[in-house]
Structure formats: C-alpha cells, structure tokens
Amino acid sequence: MRCRLLGLILATFLGLNLMAHGPNDRAYNVSLIRLIANPKAFDGRRLRLAGYLDHNGIDRAVGLYVSELDGRNFIISNSVDLQLEESSVAKLLGKYVILEGSYHAPIGPLADYANGYLYHVSKLRPSALGDTPQ
C-alpha cells in the first residue's frame, strides 16, 4: 500500500514538473501565421519565431509582423506584441529577426481582436532571410 501511495505521489510530482513552462524550456519552431491562427494551442509555450520587427502600437510598442509589408503598413492583425523595451532592440527595428519567447494567448471579450504577446523574449538576432533593401 505504501509503495503504491509513494508511486502515485512521485508520478504526480513528476507530471506537474513536466507540464510547467518556464523561460528556459525548449522552444518550439512555429510559423507566425500558425500562431495567429491558433493562439490557444500555443498558450504558455516557449516558441521560436521569425518575422519582421517594427513598432506595433501608438505607445511605441514593439511587435513581430508576418512580413515587411505588414509592418510598414501597420497591419497589426498580422502581428504579435513583444514585451520588451524598444531601446533594447532599436538596431533591429525594420529588419527580419528570429527570436524565442513565451507566448500568452489573448483572453476575454476582446480576444478576437488581439493576437496575444510574447514575454521572456531572448535569443533575438537578425535573420538572413526576407526582403533586403536594394
């Protein structure tokens, strides 16, 4: 009886640890389009994304856009907000980047009008892909 109880407690503890997500978890490669189309499927997960980095709000917020065209034309429905300081990414604004971050899906009555946000953003680097200026 004690072995079963100990086994059950151990299995529960290990299961809860495996389900927890933190900033150091393995990042899943996901396209930004797939994330925007299925936000709840990625809620709380650590993700690796590529996209066009530009301003994403009237408050000088930074966002990751699907394409340069979306970023230059401020099509926020094709973007995800990033929780980071603009000054930390100023040199990368207006460029394609690859980054990792933990995703929070939108909730509540306005969930259909927002695409969520990425927090604990790390490994932000320029991408060699995408449109390059002539």
The CATH number for 78's domain is 2.40.50.200
* 109 within domain boundaries: yes
Average pLDDT over residues 8-33: 61
pLDDT, tens only, 81-120: 999 988 889 999 999 999 999 999 999 887 778 899 999 9
**Domain count across the chain:** 1
* 9 within domain boundaries: no
* 15 within domain boundaries: no
Give the C-alpha separation, 15 to 78, whole Å.
35
pLDDT, tens only, 57-70: 778 889 999 999 99
Does pTM top 0.95 for this prediction? no
* 51 within domain boundaries: yes
* 104 within domain boundaries: yes
The DSSP code for 38 is -
Give the C-alpha separation, 91 to 46, whole Å.
24
Range of the domain at 51: 23-126
